[in-house]
Structure formats: structure tokens, C-alpha cells
A and B are shown apart, each in its own frame.
Chain A
Amino acid sequence: QKEVEQNSGPLSVPEGAIASLNCTYSDRGSQSFFWYRQYSGKSPELIMSIYSNGDKEDGRFTAQLNKASQYVSLLIRDSQPSDSATYLCAVRPYSSASKIIFGSGTRLSIRP
């Protein structure tokens, strides 16, 4: 079982709709969770971090964490063509002080 799993996509969403991206992780003791966005040919950049169960909102982005289910999600409201990118879920496992493990990413395409 991979430490961090994501559906590779592509996920196609019409402009203006809500895009929902999901991630599961294997280390039950994990405490820190991140969403990175990576445009084609570019490096990943952090867009959200979440540490507690529940929702965390930042503009059009909402991260959701459910530690009991070992599940993290990212919602993007009012999707824009500029949101088309690969979204990487990342987890800091309990077993390591600084190690950050990434999922393989979900490719999101926003269609006009």
C-alpha cells in the first residue's frame, strides 16, 4: 500500500463548478497535511495546509481532513481555467520528524 494515494485523473470540471480532489494516507499517526499545485513544466507550490480535523477555507479553496478515515480532500469553488494543473497531496508521517511524502497527483482540467 502506498503511503499517500490519489486518483491520477484526469478530472474534468466545467468552469464555475466545484472541483473535488481526494487523498488517502496509510500512517494513522500523521499530523500534517498539505496540498500542492504543479503547473506543467513547473515546480510544486503550496496552496493549503491543514492539521486538525474539519474544514479549512482560504479563498476559493477548502481543505477537509478526517483523521479517523485517513482522508484529506481539496475543494475548489468557482473553478477557473487557471486552476488546470496537477494537485499533489502531501503528508508528514508520524514516524518521521521532517519527512514529507507526496501522492502521485491528480490532474485537473477546467473546461470553458
Chain B
Amino acid sequence: DAGVIQSPRHEVTEMGQEVTLRCKPISGHNSLFWYRQTMMRGLELLIYFNNNVPIDDSGMPEDRFSAKMPNASFSTLKIQPSEPRDSAVYFCASSFTVATNEKLFFGSGTQLSVL
């Protein structure tokens, strides 16, 4: 298995533009997580899905952020409109949730720079 695949690896955009980040989880995993990492705030959980259903989106900063998981093999995180303070590394992670034994597998991340 190729692991969790994220695209793009790097994204540079201007304030106000729409940004879409993509994630393909590991086949067979039933949970998918979107995290954002910055020096100031560390690794923050934005939203997670279980069996393609959003379970907790309380970490989504504001209405400019939205996430979808239309099927078990694909998820998107969209920012519209983007702002400079959204600049961060965005990680997608997946796991196979069985009781309490959960190992998160992270993608390589998307480095987002909003100018």
C-alpha cells in the first residue's frame, strides 16, 4: 500500500482565492482525520470522519473551511476565501478503528502559503 496520499505537496496562493486540499486514505481504513500544524498552535484537529460521515468538526476554524468525504477513498478540505493566517501544513491521517487500538497513519502533508 502506498500509504496516505495527499495533494498537492505545496500550494502558494493569494488571499481571497479558493484552496482545495486532497487526501486518499489507506485502503480499508474507516477513520480519516484532517489536522493543521503551525509553530504557534502545534498540531490541531480540524475534523474527522468515521465511515465517511463527519463525526466532529468542532476544530474547523470558521465557515471558510469545509471538508467532504464522498467515498471511502477520497476526502477534500476546502478553504474559501483563503487568508494569510491559514498558512500552515495540513495533514491528513487515516486509521482502522478497533476498540481503543488506533494507529494514525499520516500523509506527507500539504504546505499551504497564502500571500
User: Which A residues fall within an 8 A CB radius of B?
Assistant: 31-32, 34, 36, 42-46, 49, 51, 88, 90, 92, 96-105
Contact = CB atoms under 8 A, between A and B. Distances in A.
8 contacts: A36-B104, A44-B104, A46-B104, A88-B42, A97-B50, A98-B97, A99-B48, A105-B43
Given A32-B100, A98-B31, A99-B56, A43 B42 contact: no
Interface in B80-115: 91, 95, 97, 100-104, 106-109
A103 B35 CA distance: 12
Interface SS of chain A: helix, strand, loop or mixed? loop
Contact of B100 (A31, A42, A43, A88): A31
B34 interface: no
Contacts, number: 59
Interface in B17-41: 31, 33, 35, 41
A43 B107 contact: yes
A98 B102 contact: yes
Interface string B38-80: 0001111100101000011000000000000000000000000
A97 B45 contact: no
Interface of B: 31, 33, 35, 41-45, 48, 50, 55-56, 91, 95, 97, 100-104, 106-109
A44 B107 contact: no
B34 to A, nearest CB: 12
A42 B43 CA distance: 13
A30 to B, nearest CB: 10
B44 to A, nearest CB: 8
A98 B33 CA distance: 10
A101 B102 CA distance: 13
